[in-house]
Structure 1
Amino acid sequence: MAAFDLFKLSFFLNLLNFSLWAGNKAGPVGIFPPTCNRIECPSYDVVQTGNGFEIRRYNSSMWVSTQPIDDISLVGATRTGFRQLFAYIQGNNENHQKIEMTAPVITEVKPSDGPFCASSFVVSFYVPKKNQENPPSSKGLHVQKWGLTYVAVRQFSGFVVDEDVGEEAAALYASLQGTVWSEAIDKSHAGENTTDYIVAQYNSPFEFRNRVNEIWLTFDIEEDFAL
């Protein structure tokens, strides 16, 4: 238990004190995040692995999320959001209930129109299965229920850096062009209030090798779509 508490604290400190271990590098797709062998992650099926992307089908799940955070930095917004979520799982909720750490912590990104304008970010924590039926509420946080969800995924290594996230998201979108998934993704992201992309982070800051981060593009599939 002490080792697990250290993992939770170290993850928190990583977001509070961003280190100079940067230099993200795109990695091969299809790597199962090692963190998910130690702590609970949402379950999914791999639908297809392509050149630079993976298509997953996630089962229904519950997430606890922050209110939108306006910031010019994804790293800064994630740090702010994770403080709230870490307090939540440590018992700062209406039930005063401690909740096990899960992975990944995800940050939904809605970029701004201008180069120096604040973007909007929502940071979310995956609720463990044993708490999904009735997750405790908490002031300033809300529960999101995901139905069956399709996700296009690009993986990259290193520590998440603001300067590289947009490039990774653009690379994922480019890799999907000319595939059967491109139209479904464009339709799902055509709405004005749709999240542009999601950054998923899995690792403890003490893990300097084999780090796995992901860019997610969520999308819907129509009934007549041929898989």
Structure 2
Amino acid sequence: MKRLIAAGLIVAATLASAAMAVETSAFKQVLRDGDFELRDYPALVVAEVTVTGDQKEAASKGFRLLAGYIFGGNKKRQSIAMTAPVAQRPVSEKIAMTAPVAQTQTAVDTWVIRFTMPSTWSLQTLPIPNDSSVKLRDTAPARFAVLQFSGVAAPDSVVTKSSELLAWVKSHELDAIGPVTLAQYNPPWTLWFMRRNEVMVEVKR
């Protein structure tokens, strides 16, 4: 029985790895400090939706809408390759004070869920979404502070990691711009210990 379970875990891990053999957003690493990084991202083309609900509900709603677009829900009925990560950020937030001074997300009900489009596409060549809630736009080049962590990105974990990230940003005398974004790289069937998650926040150069 133990051998069967072990074999099943290996198969599941292999499938998860194969499923995520997708393009990820290119960036230049500026600084590495343990699990923390500073990254410079180029201009990107993204598809995004604004949804309401708690973190899990919003992620599910947003993913369905965006997946519908890239799997043919557009004027050309054209498929667009999936990329990683799926990004989720709050539109509005309440801020709590901690020691050292940091920002912690405590109450949010509106979120932006985002897919980055493959690098072969531009805003001019992407097909128009059938669903008007799906918005296509260019993002400007930006620098982000990032903290990577594994496991399930439960709301409590995201709040804790966001606080750690913002404390690190402050300790390095950086200025955060806007709310913290949650980035998830793996499909939901990925084993918890193999999942890659990140919290990231834009900082002034």
| Match in the other structure for 1:135 | 126
Contact kept, 8 Å, 2:90 with 2:108, in 1: the verdict is no
Are 1:126 and 2:116 matched, yes or no?
Answer: yes
When normalised by structure 1's length, the TM-score is 0.70
- Separation (CA, whole Å) in 1 of partners of 2:62 and 2:126: 18
Q: Which whole-Å CA distance do the structure 1 matches of 2:128 and 2:32 have between them?
A: 37
For 1:52 and 1:118, the matched residues in 2 are separated by: 26
Mind listing any 5+ residue stretches in structure 1 that lack a counterpart?
Answer: 1-9, 12-33, 222-227
One of 61, 64, 75 as aligned partner of 1:83: 64
TM-score of the two chains, using structure 2 as the length reference: 0.77
Q: Give a deviation string over 1:102-148, Cα, whole Å, max 9, x none.
A: 11010012454399965220001110112225222222111131121
CA drift of 1:52 comes to 4.3
Structure 2 distance, partners of 1:198, 1:36, is 23
Q: How does 1:45-84 map to 2 (within 5 A)?
A: 45-66=28-49, 68-71=50-53, 73-84=54-65
Q: Distance in 1 between matches of 2:146 and 2:20?
A: 19
Query: Which deviates more from structure 2 when the two are superposed, residues 128-137 or residues 110-119?
Result: 110-119
Per the alignment, residue 23 of structure 1 pairs with: none
Residue 8 of structure 2: aligned partner: none
Runs ≥4 residues deviating over 3 A: 34-37, 110-118
5+ long unaligned stretches in structure 2: 1-14, 96-104
Deviations 1:74-117 (A, max 9, x none): 11101000000110011001221111111101001245439996
Q: Which residue is equivalent to 1:148?
A: 141
Specify whether residues 35 and 212 from structure 1 end up closer, same or farther in structure 2 by C-alpha distance, changes over 3 A only.
farther
| Alignment check: 8 A CA contact 1:35 1:103 kept | no
Q: How many residue pairs are counted as aligned between the two chains? A: 178
Report percent identity of matched pairs: 24
User: In 2, Cα distance between the equivalents of 1:161 and 1:38?
Assistant: 24
* Larger fraction in strand: 2
